[in-house]
Each structure stands twice: as structure tokens, then as C-alpha cells.
Amino acid sequence: MATLVKDRFGSTERLKVIEEDITKFHIRYHFIPFMKEKCHATEKPAKVVSNLPFNVSTEVVKLLLPMGDVFSVVVLMLQDETAVRLADASIQTPEYRPINLFVNFYSEPEYKFRVDRENFFPRPKVDGAVISFKLKNSEEYPPVAPKTFFSMVNSAFNGKRKMLRKSLQHLCTSSEIEAALHNIGLPVTARPSDLTLDDFVRLHNHLVEV
């Protein structure tokens, strides 16, 4: 693939073929100077279009979505089931997970279309799908510190069936959690799957004030 691309497009100065493991590659370090040199300041950031193996999907999503300063859009071929789950962040479903909050924190996902397994060679056991993530800029992120926010979200989902007043007890007392839930208009018995991204942000911000 790399050889084919180099042969076909090697003559353009706007192409650089890098053969690296995406999960270990320092994207900003290599990409930002290249973009500065090759693109005019008025141009929008670059886009990612990728057809990676399905088993690195989640790792790649976690790596690329917080890069709104470098990329405007990330378009990925994923396993159909994964693409459906990432694009749909409906609360109160068994599929609702911290990764949905992560995706919607950093981007606006859109399921594009299914790609039947017959279109691949060798034929996999599952269908693929194309999904796009329009990346947000940092000023569009919800008003929280991502590190403490996702730490709270992960703790909340560790006890998925547990009420938040129990699963977040390492952060605050249950009565403080109940008061925070009440303040944001949620039942004191709420579970993590009842909360939207916005609810989690408001809960987090109430709890850090305690």
C-alpha cells in the first residue's frame, strides 16, 4: 500500500508517506510542522480517513478524537456493530458506556453507511461501516477538566447497575451525591445509564465544589 501510494503520488510535495504504528506514532510532533510548512494559514486542519483493522478501533478513536487542533474530521471504517454503538449515545440502553460520553465530549459522530462483508477480501466474519467524527475545538468541549471528569465517569460505570450515590462514594458522601443529583434535577436514585453527557458534566461540577 505504502509503495503504491508513493509511486502514484510521490511527485506532489504535499504528500509524506510514513510507515509507523499509529498507536505508537507521535502524531502532533510529525504532523504540525508538516502542516505549517505545506498549508496556508487560512486552510482548515487536516482530515483523517482510515481503514485500520477492527481490533485497534477503540484505541484509535481514543487517540484521534481529542485532536481537534490538528484534524477537522476523522472518517473510519469500523466493525458495523461498533459504529452503531459509537454513533448512538441513547441513555438507558445496555450499550451506553463511557466511550459514548468520550465520543460526544470530543466530537459529533455520524454513522454514514454499512459496508457488507462481501466487499472485503479476505472476507471477514462481520460487516463494516463508515462513521465520521466531526472534531470539536477545545473551546467547544464541555466546561470540565477531562482527566477528573472521565475518572468520575469510569467510576460511575464500574458499578453500572449501582446507584451513583454508592458508586461515587470514594469521591463524596452519599448525601452530598444525592444533593448534587437533586440540584441538577435528577432522582437521587439515578444510575450512570440515566445521565446524558450534559448531566454528567453538571454532576461533576457540583461534586468538585463540595
Ligand X SMILES: C[S@@+](CC[C@H](N)C(=O)[O-])C[C@H]1O[C@@H](n2cnc3c(N)ncnc32)[C@H](O)[C@@H]1O
CB of 191 to ligand X, least distance (A): 36
Tell me phi and psi for residue 50, to 5 degrees.
Answer: -145, 140
Nearest position to ligand X, beta carbon: 51
Query: How far is 133 from 108, CA to CA, in rounded Å?
Result: 5
The answer to whether the annotation marks 1 as part of a ligand binding site is yes
In the chain, count H helices and then E strands.
9, 4
Indicate the helix (H) or strand (E) that contains 77: strand 71-79
The site for ligand X (CB under 6 A) is made up of: 1, 21-23, 51-53, 56
Q: Please indicate if the annotation marks 21 as binding a ligand.
A: yes
CB 84 → ligand X: shortest distance, Å?
19
Nearest to 177 by CA among 162, 198, 161: 162
Least spacing, CB of residue 182 vs ligand X, in Å:
46
Q: Which three cell numbers stand for residue 200?
A: 454528567
Tell me whether residue 73 or residue 153 sits nearer to ligand X (CB atom).
Answer: 73
- 51 belongs to an annotated ligand binding site: yes
- Binding site, annotated residues: 1, 21, 51
- Binding site, annotated residues for S-adenosyl-L-methionine: 1, 21, 51
